[in-house]
Chains A and B, each alone.
Chain A
Amino acid sequence: MKKMLLLVVAVMLTIGLAACGSSNNANNSTNQGAGETNNGGAEELSGSILAVGSTALQPLVDQVSKKFMETNPGVTIQVQGGGSGTGLTQVAGGQAQIGNSDIFAEEKFKDADAALAEGLVDHQVAVVAMSTVVNKDVGIDSLTKQQLVDIFTGKVTNWKDVGGVDEKITIINRPSSSGTRKTFETYALGTKTEDLQGSIQEDSSGTVKKLVGETPGAIGYLALSYLDDSVKTVKYDGVEASEATVIDGSYPVWAYEHMYTKGEPDAATAAFLAYMLTDEVQNADVTELGYIPVNKMQVKRDVDGNVTK
């Protein structure tokens, strides 16, 4: 008898919890760890932070958040992927404290949604550079901007037309909504492209690398941290993609990694974002994971793509 009653109670509780679950996410900033002793002398931080968005930035935020939580036991940081669009939507809607994005919020929130970008504060934490990569057998090691445009718009379909071997070009692209593709189109091609018949669209960098490495005549683009011997990197207008050429501004295909907050962040979030920019993180975790430290950059770029020294 009692067991049955318990069962009924359990079921009702489950339903109740499921119903509350969605609303709980909204108020994540409840204070926790009030009883913890403070060793550092400074005011102790507490709270919980939810960082959602870009999968390209996720490994960095994840790794840094673990270090941050070790020194600040009162703070809980949860890092989730889901894509730049999800991150920006959630931070603008107040479901997450931090929205990770590969591109400027202004580029994502367009037309009817433009107002959503206004309340967001940008925190640039790293730089990601991309290099054009090709399959090893195409016999090319430099492409001009115009040649790239011709390839990605389908004007040139054989490698022999750009000085390579006689082999059909297979484009391994990113989905049209992807931040990586947007960066490549804006800074390498300078034009929007359509998904061509026969082209391949993959979202994950690992899959792109695998396909470029294995498919004869393939061309794609990858973040510098993904490059290895399985693919051949191609110079852009004669400039090799490397940390040095990105820092001094001679290689243009790069983008900031953004961590957006809605308005000014609370104490714990602000401290975490400040920690991301310390030399301790920038010179260790950032470079270790293949990003370029944002404070080393000798050039700056604004939303409209204007580059200043």
Chain B
Amino acid sequence: MEQPAVKGQKVAFVKPHVREEWIGRIYTTLCILFLIVTIVAIVYFVASKGLSTFFKNGVNIGDLLTGLKWNPEGEPPLFGALPFIFGSFSTSLLAALIAAPLGCCAAIFMTQIMPGVGRKYLQPVIELLAGIPSVVYGFVGLSVIVPMLRAIFPGQGIGIMAGSLVLAVMILPTITTIATDALAALPSGLKEGSFALGATRWQTIYRIVIPTTLPALLTGVVLGMSRAFGEALAVQMVIGNAPHIPRSLFESTSTLTSAITLSMGNTITGSAHNNALWSLALILLTMTFIFVFIVRVLERRNHR
């Protein structure tokens, strides 16, 4: 097959490397166009569905964002999504608070303290966590974490705390991987300079290494948070899904994602309830854009 092709090239009117160049360019352009079309289509779809709650069903946007009562099947239907927004923020923030120290310490261990063992064994193990399906996390949460919390704290065990613990494990690989890459990319001169001045290893880590890589570490934490924000299934299983702002960390509440997954299949496309769920999805999408924006800002600081 290759022989005639080579022969044919002799009479080709463009030089082979020029043709190669063009094929590469066309191929990449097509891929990029496809990606752009997909993203624009998704955003358009979610936005058009989500905004029809306000334009078609006449729900006030302020009521949706600040309302405390969610009862879309009631008479009259009420669409107050504040409990979900609160639930999403509190679970993902708490998850990030739990996972950030663990992830950053693991990264420091793997790059500064025991690079050999750490990168060879610990890193694959932590990255393995990213490959476990979320339903498994949810089930482990429901079978292990919820009964444990129920035994130790007052309440049902279900709630923000259980959700955050499950999410913390889920976002650990994201934070650890980004932190490890950032720490490994640190110019060795900085560390050696610090050692040369007589600083101990710990002094070097917390006076030199962490401050220099802080924007990158924060990038990892924010990316982890956005992952936690969007996670649905595992959280839905352990959070209880009551559309109320909870009175404690151990009381049933909802997140944006759990409210969507719980009811999307049961509602009729185009009904007010269904459109309201799309509005929740739109809020979620907007939040993800904000997270991406924060990451961008942090990265810019990192490169300065």
Contacts and interface: CB of A to CB of B under 8 A. Distances in A.
Interface of A: 1-2, 4-5, 7-8, 11-12, 15, 55, 81-86, 88-89, 93, 108-110, 112-113, 116, 170, 175-179, 192, 194-203, 207, 210-211, 214-215
Given A4-B20, A5-B23, A201 B31 contact: no
Contact of A11 (B27, B236, B243): B27
A200 B71 contact: no
A89 B156 contact: no
21 contacts: A1-B5, A7-B27, A11-B31, A12-B30, A15-B34, A84-B266, A85-B265, A86-B266, A109-B268, A110-B271, A112-B271, A175-B262, A175-B263, A176-B73, A177-B263, A194-B71, A197-B242, A198-B242, A198-B244, A200-B158, A211-B142
Nearest to A92: B268
Contact of A85 (B27, B70, B156, B274): B274
Interface string B1-29: 11001000100000010011001101100
A93 B269 CA distance: 10
A197 B19 contact: no
Contacts of A93: 269
B252 A198 contact: yes
9 closest A-B pairs by beta carbon, nearest first, are A83-B265, A177-B266, A201-B241, A177-B263, A200-B240, A175-B262, A89-B269, A197-B244, A83-B266
B136 to A, nearest CB: 14
B71 A176 contact: yes
Interface string B237-253: 10011111011000110
A200 B156 contact: yes
Contact of A8 (B30, B262, B270): B30
A85 B266 contact: yes
Contacts, number: 130
Contacts of A12: 30
B245 to A, nearest CB: 9
Contact of B266 (A11, A179, A215): A179
A215 B240 contact: no
A39 B33 CA distance: 53
A194 B77 CA distance: 11
Given A11-B30, A215-B156, A85 B267 contact: yes
A210 B157 CA distance: 13
A7 B268 CA distance: 42
B300 interface: no
Contacts of A15: 30, 34
A110 B270 CA distance: 11
B251 A198 contact: yes
Contact of A178 (B30, B31, B266): B266
B150 interface: yes
